[in-house]
Amino acid sequence: MPSSRMRTETERMSETASQPPFFKQVNRYFDRAAAHLDLPPGLLGQIKTCNSVYHVSFPVKRDDGTIDVVHGWRAHHSQHRLPVKGGFRLTMHASEDEVTALAALMTYKCALVNVPYGGAKGAIRIEKSDYSEAELERIIRRYTFELMQKNCIGPGLDVPGPDMGVGAKEIAWMLDTYTAIARAEINAEACVTGKPIELGGVRGRVEATGRGVFFGVRETVNDAETMKELGLSTGLDGKAVVVQGLGNVGYYASTFMAEEGARIVGIIEREGAIFDPAGLDVAEVRAHREAGGSILELEAETKLEPSRAIEGLEWPCDILVPAAIENVIRAENAARIQAKIIAEGANGPTTADAANVLNERGILQLPDMYLNAGGVTVSYFEWVKNLSHVRFGRMQRRFEASQSRGLMDAVEGLVGQTFPRGTYEDIAVGASEEDLVNSGLEETMVIALQEMNELARREGVDLRTAAFMNAIGKVAVAYSERGIFP
Ligand code: NAD
């Protein structure tokens, strides 16, 4: 429920950020795509607007007995499908503008990859590292309780998931708070996604967003026509990659790309940036950071101090993966980006002005709303698993394995030869939950890219505009189906 107080808050945050508000940036992309669509202005206006934003503040008792007042938000951008879905983040730069923009991106992202949700997003404005684990638990539990009071969480209403600074532990606290209150709700487990497996999570969710980024990049670099336009060879093998943010998305995306032969030449983090054309070992860098070290302590050809780390975005590479925060590629640095492909792992890393500069320079942008949709796609699988109360593969895995064995035995009988035992054992298995989740994710990313590419080529527009056109069209159909608009 937007209020004049919240609007002032949005404006204040935008002024201090000395750049256009994030939601305005998203709407500039929306308007560009809408100009290519023959839809009534009223319908476009309804799709674009954010339906409601809840701003909550509550006290939290610190371990030393003092009290902090904590601010949180939950934005519901569109309820054309229910529940609404979107992660929540813990950051100091959280604001109404940010959650609104991110909720809007969720609406379009879900539509693009055919996941039946409206868009939502949440945030709590804290510096996570300033709080003890016990304090964080109190904050998350209280935030969950506040969301329950306003119907902002529930399996059929609003299903939060992980985002920046939020992992399975925070999600487990949220689930526990919800289920402690909604005891009789048989589908309570589906109130949140990104849960630990033991609490109803799905295998493959942790890596899902990074894996989706990998699938999108792999499909793009395997497309001969696209690579010819960019002057690149096909395939990931040997491609130089710079990644910003070695968190959940950046770590898995770069790990999967490296497994296909890409060289991770640059890593940009909060504490600085490192570059080495010979390639960096992503697992080693992550382990070093997790042990409390800084990437600047590791061996590399070039290093940048924190104040200049953002310049790492301009390092020479084939693929740049911004996977940290929004608005890092702006009009002022877009002209110096050397990558041929920008693979947007983060939400909103490129401002609308920067996107224009990059388009003019022929740099291919794989837009966030497509490329990082793997997270919500696998969250959708988790939600379906929770609602069906059965693990994927449980019903058919053994049956599939015995079918395969029967078929191979019959072939052996017919031809009078036996399969090598290794091959036999490899084929005689049914799909596990993780196999099914990863296969569903791959199918989703491949199909969505095909749809975007076809639309982009047919309409002569860039991929981001095509992604918005596709998504807006689907949301428009949902409204029309409900008889709200012609
Ligand atoms: P995360 O908290 O796991 O990781 C973020 C990483 O970025 C951290 O390592 C952090 O140190 C680094 N970072 C923060 N500020 C930085 C800066 N100014 N410069 C360089 N590095 C910086 O978060 P995440 O879940 O990986 O999310 C990253 C982005 O991906 C966000 O934009 C998020 O909205 C988006 N995203 C995440 C998911 C998901 O499933 N986790 C899904 C879709 C989109």
Are 88 and 151 part of one and the same domain? yes
248 lines ligand 1 (CB under 6 A): yes
Are 324 and 289 part of one and the same domain? yes
Among 325, 333, 445, residue to substitute to test ligand 1 (most atoms within 8 Å of Cβ): 325
**Tens of pLDDT, residues 410-462:** 999 999 999 998 998 888 888 899 999 999 999 999 999 999 999 999 999 99
Task: Provide the residue range defining the domain that includes 190.
Answer: 9-199
Residue of the CA atom closest to atom 9 of ligand 1: 247
Q: Do 319 and 299 touch, CB atoms closer than 8 A?
A: no
What global pTM score does this model have?
0.92
* Strand partners for 143: none
Are 280 and 321 part of one and the same domain? yes
Are 183 and 42 part of one and the same domain? yes
Q: In this structure, what DSSP letter does residue 329 have?
A: B
Are 62 and 169 part of one and the same domain? yes
Q: In angstroms, rounded to a whole number, what is the distance separating the alpha carbons of residues 380 and 378?
A: 5
Are 188 and 265 part of one and the same domain? no
Q: Both tokens of residue 137?
A: 């638990």
347 lines ligand 1 (CB under 6 A): yes
Each of the 486 residues of the chain gets a pLDDT tens digit; together they read 333 333 333 334 333 445 579 999 999 999 999 999 999 999 999 999 999 999 999 999 999 999 999 999 999 999 999 999 999 999 999 999 999 999 999 999 999 999 999 999 999 999 999 999 999 999 999 999 999 999 999 999 999 999 999 999 999 999 999 999 998 899 999 999 999 999 999 999 999 999 999 999 999 999 999 999 999 999 999 999 999 999 999 999 999 999 999 999 999 999 999 999 999 999 999 999 999 999 999 999 999 999 999 999 999 999 999 999 999 999 999 999 999 999 999 999 999 999 999 999 999 999 999 999 999 999 999 999 999 999 988 888 888 899 999 999 999 999 999 999 899 888 888 889 999 999 999 999 999 999 999 999 999 999 999 999 999 999 999 998 877 776
Ramachandran class of 352: left when φ > 0, alpha when ψ lies in -120 to 50, beta otherwise: alpha
Residues whose CB falls within 8 Å of the CB of residue 170, separated by 6 or more in sequence, listed in order:
90, 136, 140, 162
* Closest to 452 in 3D by CA, of 366, 384, 382, 337: 366
DSSP secondary structure, 214-283, as one string: HHHHHHHHT-HHHHHHHT--SSSTT-EEEEE--SHHHHHHHHHHHHTT-EEEEEEETTEEEE-TT---HH
CA of 245 to the centre of ligand 1 (A): 6
Q: Among 350, 383, 412, where does a domain finish?
A: 350
The CATH number for 292's domain is 3.40.50.720
Q: In angstroms, rounded to a whole number, what is the distance separating the alpha carbons of residues 134 and 143?
A: 14
269 lines ligand 1 (CB under 6 A): yes
Number of compact structural domains in the chain: 3
Are 215 and 159 part of one and the same domain? no
- Residue 474 designated active-site: no
CA of 37 to the centre of ligand 1 (A): 33
Does residue 94 belong to any structural domain of this protein?
Answer: yes
Q: Which atom of ligand 1 is nearest to the CA of 209?
A: 40
Helix, strand, coil percent values for the chain (each to nearest 5): 50, 15, 35
Catalytic residue among 121, 239, 303, 340: 121
**Tens of pLDDT, residues 339-369:** 999 999 999 999 999 999 999 999 999 999 9
Residue of the CA atom closest to atom 27 of ligand 1: 164
Q: In angstroms, rounded to a whole number, what is the distance separating the alpha carbons of residues 343 and 109?
A: 15
Q: In angstroms, rounded to a whole number, what is the distance separating the alpha carbons of residues 45 and 111?
A: 17
Interstrand relation of 84-91 and 158-162 (parallel, antiparallel or unpaired): parallel
Q: In angstroms, rounded to a whole number, what is the distance separating the alpha carbons of residues 473 and 204?
A: 30
Q: In angstroms, rounded to a whole number, what is the distance separating the alpha carbons of residues 342 and 354?
A: 12
Are 26 and 159 part of one and the same domain? yes
Alpha carbon dihedral 437, 264, 248, 18, in 10-degree steps, equals: -130
